[in-house]
Protein backbone atom coordinates (compact mmCIF):
# COMPACT_ATOMS: atom_id res chain seq x y z
CA UNK A 1 0.00 0.00 0.00
CA UNK A 2 1.48 3.43 -0.92
CA UNK A 3 2.61 5.72 1.90
CA UNK A 4 0.03 8.35 1.03
CA UNK A 5 -2.75 5.77 1.04
CA UNK A 6 -1.69 4.50 4.46
CA UNK A 7 -1.77 8.02 5.88
CA UNK A 8 -5.19 8.67 4.41
CA UNK A 9 -6.67 5.51 5.90
CA UNK A 10 -5.05 6.09 9.31
CA UNK A 11 -6.42 9.62 9.34
CA UNK A 12 -9.88 8.42 8.31
CA UNK A 13 -9.96 5.84 11.10
CA UNK A 14 -8.70 8.35 13.66
CA UNK A 15 -11.22 11.01 12.62
CA UNK A 16 -14.01 8.43 12.56
CA UNK A 17 -13.25 7.37 16.13
CA UNK A 18 -13.11 11.01 17.21
CA UNK A 19 -16.51 11.58 15.62
CA UNK A 20 -18.00 8.67 17.56
CA UNK A 21 -16.51 9.94 20.82
CA UNK A 22 -17.76 13.49 20.26
CA UNK A 23 -21.26 12.28 19.39
CA UNK A 24 -21.22 10.10 22.50
CA UNK A 25 -20.17 13.13 24.54
CA UNK A 26 -23.01 15.19 23.10
CA UNK A 27 -25.47 12.42 23.92
CA UNK A 28 -24.13 12.17 27.47
CA UNK A 29 -24.37 15.92 28.07
CA UNK A 30 -27.94 15.84 26.75
CA UNK A 31 -28.87 12.81 28.82
CA UNK A 32 -27.95 14.42 32.15
CA UNK A 33 -30.57 17.21 32.14
CA UNK A 34 -33.07 14.78 30.61
CA UNK A 35 -32.49 12.39 33.49
CA UNK A 36 -32.75 15.14 36.11
CA UNK A 37 -36.13 16.20 34.69
CA UNK A 38 -37.79 12.83 34.03
CA UNK A 39 -35.43 10.00 34.92
CA UNK A 40 -34.82 7.24 32.38
CA UNK A 41 -37.86 8.26 30.37
CA UNK A 42 -36.37 11.74 29.98
CA UNK A 43 -33.21 10.28 28.45
CA UNK A 44 -35.14 8.17 25.96
CA UNK A 45 -37.47 11.02 25.02
CA UNK A 46 -34.72 13.60 24.55
CA UNK A 47 -32.57 11.33 22.36
CA UNK A 48 -35.66 10.25 20.40
CA UNK A 49 -36.60 13.86 19.72
CA UNK A 50 -33.08 14.58 18.45
CA UNK A 51 -33.02 11.60 16.05
CA UNK A 52 -36.51 12.29 14.72
CA UNK A 53 -35.84 15.99 14.28
CA UNK A 54 -32.53 15.45 12.51
CA UNK A 55 -33.99 12.90 10.10
CA UNK A 56 -37.03 15.05 9.34
CA UNK A 57 -35.07 18.25 8.83
CA UNK A 58 -31.90 17.01 7.14
CA UNK A 59 -32.86 18.22 3.64
CA UNK A 60 -35.76 20.65 3.98
CA UNK A 61 -33.99 23.47 5.88
CA UNK A 62 -30.96 23.51 3.54
CA UNK A 63 -33.11 23.78 0.43
CA UNK A 64 -35.32 26.38 2.04
CA UNK A 65 -32.29 28.50 2.98
CA UNK A 66 -30.98 28.32 -0.60
CA UNK A 67 -34.31 29.36 -2.07
CA UNK A 68 -34.77 32.10 0.51
CA UNK A 69 -31.30 33.48 -0.29
CA UNK A 70 -32.12 33.82 -3.98
CA UNK A 71 -29.90 30.94 -5.14
CA UNK A 72 -30.38 29.29 -8.51
CA UNK A 73 -29.77 25.85 -9.97
CA UNK A 74 -27.01 25.81 -12.60
CA UNK A 75 -27.79 23.66 -15.63
CA UNK A 76 -25.08 21.77 -17.47
CA UNK A 77 -24.98 24.14 -20.42
CA UNK A 78 -24.43 27.06 -18.04
CA UNK A 79 -21.33 25.57 -16.34
CA UNK A 80 -20.00 22.70 -18.51
CA UNK A 81 -16.45 22.71 -17.07
CA UNK A 82 -17.68 22.48 -13.49
CA UNK A 83 -20.12 19.71 -14.33
CA UNK A 84 -17.36 17.72 -16.03
CA UNK A 85 -15.38 17.98 -12.79
CA UNK A 86 -18.38 16.98 -10.70
CA UNK A 87 -19.17 14.00 -12.94
CA UNK A 88 -15.68 12.62 -12.32
CA UNK A 89 -15.76 13.39 -8.60
CA UNK A 90 -19.17 11.76 -8.15
CA UNK A 91 -17.99 8.69 -10.03
CA UNK A 92 -14.84 8.38 -7.91
CA UNK A 93 -16.86 8.93 -4.72
CA UNK A 94 -19.35 6.22 -5.65
CA UNK A 95 -22.35 8.59 -5.81
CA UNK A 96 -24.90 7.26 -8.28
CA UNK A 97 -27.07 10.39 -8.49
CA UNK A 98 -26.22 12.96 -11.17
CA UNK A 99 -24.64 16.07 -9.61
CA UNK A 100 -26.50 19.29 -8.92
CA UNK A 101 -24.69 22.62 -8.75
CA UNK A 102 -26.34 25.67 -7.16
CA UNK A 103 -25.29 29.28 -7.71
CA UNK A 104 -25.57 32.04 -5.11
CA UNK A 105 -25.07 35.64 -6.32
CA UNK A 106 -22.95 36.60 -3.32
CA UNK A 107 -19.51 38.27 -3.35
CA UNK A 108 -18.41 36.07 -0.42
CA UNK A 109 -16.01 33.20 -1.06
CA UNK A 110 -18.01 30.18 0.02
CA UNK A 111 -19.14 26.69 -0.99
CA UNK A 112 -21.24 24.21 0.94
CA UNK A 113 -22.99 20.87 0.54
CA UNK A 114 -26.78 20.78 0.45
CA UNK A 115 -28.97 17.83 1.42
CA UNK A 116 -27.77 14.22 1.38
CA UNK A 117 -25.97 11.89 -1.04
CA UNK A 118 -29.36 10.68 -2.34
CA UNK A 119 -30.91 14.07 -3.03
CA UNK A 120 -28.33 16.80 -2.59
CA UNK A 121 -25.92 19.08 -4.36
CA UNK A 122 -23.25 21.73 -3.93
CA UNK A 123 -23.71 25.49 -3.75
CA UNK A 124 -21.01 27.95 -4.84
CA UNK A 125 -20.97 31.73 -4.68
CA UNK A 126 -20.16 34.26 -7.36
CA UNK A 127 -17.15 35.43 -5.34
CA UNK A 128 -15.71 31.93 -5.24
CA UNK A 129 -16.15 31.39 -8.98
CA UNK A 130 -14.47 34.70 -9.79
CA UNK A 131 -11.54 34.21 -7.42
CA UNK A 132 -10.43 30.57 -7.62
CA UNK A 133 -8.88 28.83 -10.59
CA UNK A 134 -10.43 25.70 -12.05
CA UNK A 135 -7.78 23.59 -10.32
CA UNK A 136 -8.55 25.18 -6.94
CA UNK A 137 -12.28 24.82 -7.52
CA UNK A 138 -11.76 21.11 -8.18
CA UNK A 139 -10.30 20.76 -4.68
CA UNK A 140 -13.15 22.73 -3.10
CA UNK A 141 -15.79 20.75 -4.98
CA UNK A 142 -14.12 17.47 -3.96
CA UNK A 143 -14.23 18.64 -0.33
CA UNK A 144 -17.99 19.25 -0.58
CA UNK A 145 -18.55 15.96 -2.43
CA UNK A 146 -16.91 14.26 0.55
CA UNK A 147 -19.44 15.92 2.88
CA UNK A 148 -22.26 14.49 0.75
CA UNK A 149 -20.57 11.10 0.52
CA UNK A 150 -20.30 10.68 4.29
CA UNK A 151 -23.61 12.29 5.26
CA UNK A 152 -21.96 15.12 7.17
CA UNK A 153 -25.01 17.36 6.77
CA UNK A 154 -27.11 14.84 8.69
CA UNK A 155 -24.42 14.31 11.34
CA UNK A 156 -24.09 18.05 11.92
CA UNK A 157 -27.87 18.46 11.97
CA UNK A 158 -28.09 15.86 14.72
CA UNK A 159 -25.28 17.54 16.67
CA UNK A 160 -26.99 20.93 16.36
CA UNK A 161 -30.27 19.40 17.51
CA UNK A 162 -28.53 17.92 20.57
CA UNK A 163 -27.03 21.29 21.44
CA UNK A 164 -30.36 23.12 21.07
CA UNK A 165 -32.24 20.55 23.14
CA UNK A 166 -29.55 20.62 25.83
CA UNK A 167 -30.00 24.39 26.04
CA UNK A 168 -33.79 24.06 26.30
CA UNK A 169 -33.66 21.36 28.99
CA UNK A 170 -31.14 23.24 31.10
CA UNK A 171 -33.28 26.35 30.77
CA UNK A 172 -36.24 24.39 32.18
CA UNK A 173 -34.00 23.19 35.02
CA UNK A 174 -32.87 26.72 35.75
CA UNK A 175 -36.47 27.95 35.90
CA UNK A 176 -37.32 25.04 38.22
CA UNK A 177 -34.44 25.96 40.52
CA UNK A 178 -35.65 29.56 40.66
CA UNK A 179 -39.07 28.35 41.76
CA UNK A 180 -37.39 26.27 44.50
CA UNK A 181 -35.42 29.20 45.93
CA UNK A 182 -37.93 29.80 48.80
CA UNK A 183 -37.68 26.14 49.84
CA UNK A 184 -33.88 26.27 49.67
CA UNK A 185 -33.75 29.45 51.78
CA UNK A 186 -36.13 27.91 54.32
CA UNK A 187 -33.83 24.90 54.63
CA UNK A 188 -36.50 22.47 53.47
CA UNK A 189 -34.63 21.50 50.29
CA UNK A 190 -30.95 20.81 49.72
CA UNK A 191 -29.49 20.66 46.23
CA UNK A 192 -26.15 18.98 45.44
CA UNK A 193 -23.46 21.18 43.92
CA UNK A 194 -23.09 18.68 41.08
CA UNK A 195 -26.62 19.52 39.92
CA UNK A 196 -25.84 23.22 39.89
CA UNK A 197 -22.64 22.62 37.90
CA UNK A 198 -24.51 20.56 35.30
CA UNK A 199 -27.16 23.23 34.88
CA UNK A 200 -24.49 25.92 34.56
CA UNK A 201 -22.03 24.27 32.19
CA UNK A 202 -24.01 21.76 30.08
CA UNK A 203 -24.91 24.25 27.29
CA UNK A 204 -21.29 25.44 26.97
CA UNK A 205 -19.95 21.88 26.94
CA UNK A 206 -22.43 20.89 24.24
CA UNK A 207 -21.55 23.91 22.09
CA UNK A 208 -17.80 23.21 22.35
CA UNK A 209 -18.34 19.56 21.42
CA UNK A 210 -20.42 20.60 18.41
CA UNK A 211 -17.65 22.93 17.22
CA UNK A 212 -15.07 20.17 17.73
CA UNK A 213 -17.21 17.82 15.63
CA UNK A 214 -17.41 20.37 12.83
CA UNK A 215 -13.63 20.78 12.77
CA UNK A 216 -13.21 17.00 12.78
CA UNK A 217 -15.47 16.56 9.76
CA UNK A 218 -13.58 19.30 7.91
CA UNK A 219 -10.28 17.46 8.38
CA UNK A 220 -11.85 14.26 7.08
CA UNK A 221 -13.35 16.03 4.05
CA UNK A 222 -9.95 17.56 3.24
CA UNK A 223 -8.25 14.18 3.16
CA UNK A 224 -11.06 12.62 1.15
CA UNK A 225 -10.80 15.48 -1.33
CA UNK A 226 -7.14 14.56 -1.88
CA UNK A 227 -8.16 10.95 -2.43
CA UNK A 228 -10.72 12.05 -5.04
CA UNK A 229 -8.62 14.61 -6.93
CA UNK A 230 -5.10 13.22 -6.50
CA UNK A 231 -4.01 16.84 -6.05
CA UNK A 232 -3.35 18.08 -2.50
CA UNK A 233 -1.77 21.29 -3.81
CA UNK A 234 -4.99 22.37 -5.54
CA UNK A 235 -7.06 22.31 -2.33
CA UNK A 236 -4.18 23.74 -0.30
CA UNK A 237 -3.93 26.67 -2.70
CA UNK A 238 -7.69 27.26 -2.48
CA UNK A 239 -7.54 27.23 1.33
CA UNK A 240 -4.72 29.78 1.27
CA UNK A 241 -6.80 32.09 -0.95
CA UNK A 242 -9.82 31.73 1.33
CA UNK A 243 -7.70 32.42 4.41
CA UNK A 244 -6.32 35.62 2.87
CA UNK A 245 -9.84 36.76 2.03
CA UNK A 246 -11.36 35.96 5.44
CA UNK A 247 -8.23 37.11 7.26
CA UNK A 248 -8.63 40.60 5.82
CA UNK A 249 -12.21 40.64 7.07
CA UNK A 250 -11.14 39.55 10.57
CA UNK A 251 -8.41 42.19 10.60
CA UNK A 252 -10.92 44.95 9.88
CA UNK A 253 -13.19 43.60 12.64
CA UNK A 254 -10.66 43.02 15.41
CA UNK A 255 -7.66 45.13 14.45
CA UNK A 256 -4.24 43.95 13.37
CA UNK A 257 -4.51 40.49 14.97
CA UNK A 258 -7.75 38.65 15.78
CA UNK A 259 -8.02 37.44 19.39
CA UNK A 260 -6.17 34.16 20.02
CA UNK A 261 -9.18 32.65 21.77
CA UNK A 262 -11.28 33.02 18.63
CA UNK A 263 -10.01 29.65 17.33
CA UNK A 264 -12.05 27.90 20.03
CA UNK A 265 -15.23 29.25 18.46
CA UNK A 266 -14.43 28.45 14.83
CA UNK A 267 -16.40 25.81 12.98
CA UNK A 268 -13.39 25.13 10.70
CA UNK A 269 -9.88 24.11 11.79
CA UNK A 270 -6.95 26.55 11.44
CA UNK A 271 -6.04 26.89 7.79
CA UNK A 272 -2.32 26.44 8.45
CA UNK A 273 -2.96 23.05 10.04
CA UNK A 274 -5.27 21.98 7.21
CA UNK A 275 -2.64 22.90 4.61
CA UNK A 276 0.09 21.11 6.60
CA UNK A 277 -1.97 17.92 6.70
CA UNK A 278 -2.75 18.13 3.01
CA UNK A 279 0.86 18.61 1.99
CA UNK A 280 1.98 15.68 4.17
CA UNK A 281 0.13 13.31 1.82
CA UNK A 282 2.81 12.51 -0.74
CA UNK A 283 0.75 9.98 -2.72
CA UNK A 284 -2.97 9.69 -3.42
CA UNK A 285 -5.57 7.11 -4.27
CA UNK A 286 -6.44 8.45 -7.72
CA UNK A 287 -4.62 9.96 -10.67
CA UNK A 288 -4.91 13.78 -10.77
CA UNK A 289 -8.07 15.24 -12.26
CA UNK A 290 -6.13 17.82 -14.21
CA UNK A 291 -3.02 18.24 -16.27
CA UNK A 292 -0.94 21.41 -16.31
CA UNK A 293 -2.83 23.04 -19.14
CA UNK A 294 -3.29 26.80 -18.79
CA UNK A 295 -7.10 26.44 -18.59
CA UNK A 296 -6.76 24.89 -15.15
CA UNK A 297 -5.09 28.05 -13.85
CA UNK A 298 -7.94 30.31 -14.95
CA UNK A 299 -11.32 30.90 -13.26
CA UNK A 300 -14.20 28.64 -14.26
CA UNK A 301 -16.38 30.01 -17.04
CA UNK A 302 -20.11 30.32 -16.34
CA UNK A 303 -21.97 30.81 -19.60
CA UNK A 304 -25.15 32.06 -17.97
CA UNK A 305 -26.14 32.97 -14.42
CA UNK A 306 -29.38 31.29 -13.30
CA UNK A 307 -32.26 33.14 -11.72
CA UNK A 308 -33.51 32.43 -8.18
CA UNK A 309 -35.28 29.14 -7.61
CA UNK A 310 -38.20 30.67 -5.79
CA UNK A 311 -39.40 30.06 -2.26
CA UNK A 312 -41.36 26.91 -3.18
CA UNK A 313 -38.35 25.03 -4.58
CA UNK A 314 -37.43 23.50 -1.22
CA UNK A 315 -40.75 21.61 -1.22
CA UNK A 316 -39.93 19.80 -4.47
CA UNK A 317 -37.70 16.72 -4.47
CA UNK A 318 -35.59 15.91 -7.47
CA UNK A 319 -37.09 13.32 -9.80
In tens, the pLDDT along 43-73 reads: 888 888 877 776 666 555 556 666 666 678 8
pLDDT band at 289 (very low <50, low <70, confident <90, very high): low
Work out the average pLDDT over 283-300.
Answer: 58
- Indicate whether 177 pLDDT > 60: yes
* Contact between 109 and 241 (Cβ < 8 Å): yes
pLDDT value of residue 290: 59
User: Could you please report the per-residue DSSP string of the chain?
Assistant: --HHHHHHHHHHHHHHHHHHHHHHHHHHHHHHHHHHHHHHHHHHHHHHHHHHHHHHHSSHHHHHHHHHTT-EEEPTTTSHHHHHHHHHHHHHHT--SPP-EEEE--SS--EEEES-SSS-EEEEEHHHHHHSBHHHHHHHHHHHHHHHHTTHHHHHHHHHHHHHHHHHHHHHHHHHHHHTHHHHHTTS----HHHHHHHHHHHHHHHHHHHHHHHHHHHHHHHHHHHHHS-HHHHHHHHHHHHHHHHHHHHHHHSSS--GGGGGG-SS--HHHHHHHHHT--S-SS--S--S-GGGGSBPP-S-PPPP--TTGGG----
Euclidean distance between CA atoms 287 and 284, whole angstroms:
7
Residues in the chain, overall count: 319
- Indicate whether 253 pLDDT > 70: no
Q: How far apart are the two ends of the chain, measured CA to CA in Å?
A: 41
Euclidean distance between CA atoms 29 and 156, whole angstroms:
16
Q: What percent of the chain has pLDDT over 90?
A: 10
pLDDT band at 92 (very low <50, low <70, confident <90, very high): very high
Euclidean distance between CA atoms 14 and 46, whole angstroms:
29
pLDDT band at 296 (very low <50, low <70, confident <90, very high): low
- Indicate whether 259 pLDDT > 60: no
pTM beyond 0.75: the answer is: yes
- Indicate whether 292 pLDDT > 50: no
Contacts of 85 (CB under 8 A, 6+ apart): 134, 137, 138, 141, 289
Q: Rounded to 5 degrees, what are φ and ψ at 230?
A: 70, 20
125 strand-pairing partners: 104
Work out the average pLDDT over 240-254.
Answer: 63
pLDDT value of residue 72: 82
pLDDT band at 142 (very low <50, low <70, confident <90, very high): very high
pLDDT value of residue 275: 87
- Indicate whether 250 pLDDT > 50: no
pLDDT value of residue 62: 56
Domain residue ranges in the chain: 3-306
Q: How many CA atoms lie within 13 A of 174 on its CB side?
A: 13
pLDDT value of residue 136: 92
pLDDT single digits (tens) 25-49: 888 888 888 887 777 888 888 888 8
Catalytic positions, written as ranges: 144
Residue 207: other Cβ atoms inside 10 A: 17
Amino acid sequence: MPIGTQRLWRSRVKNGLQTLLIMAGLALVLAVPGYLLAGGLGIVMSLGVVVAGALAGSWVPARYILADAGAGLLDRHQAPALYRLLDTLYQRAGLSRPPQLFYAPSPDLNAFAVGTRHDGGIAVTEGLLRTLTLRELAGVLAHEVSHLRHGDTRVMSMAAAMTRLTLWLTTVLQLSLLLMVPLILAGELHLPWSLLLVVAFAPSMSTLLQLALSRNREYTADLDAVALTGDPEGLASALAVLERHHGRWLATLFGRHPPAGLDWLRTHPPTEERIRRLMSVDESLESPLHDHHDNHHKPAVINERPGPMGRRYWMRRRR
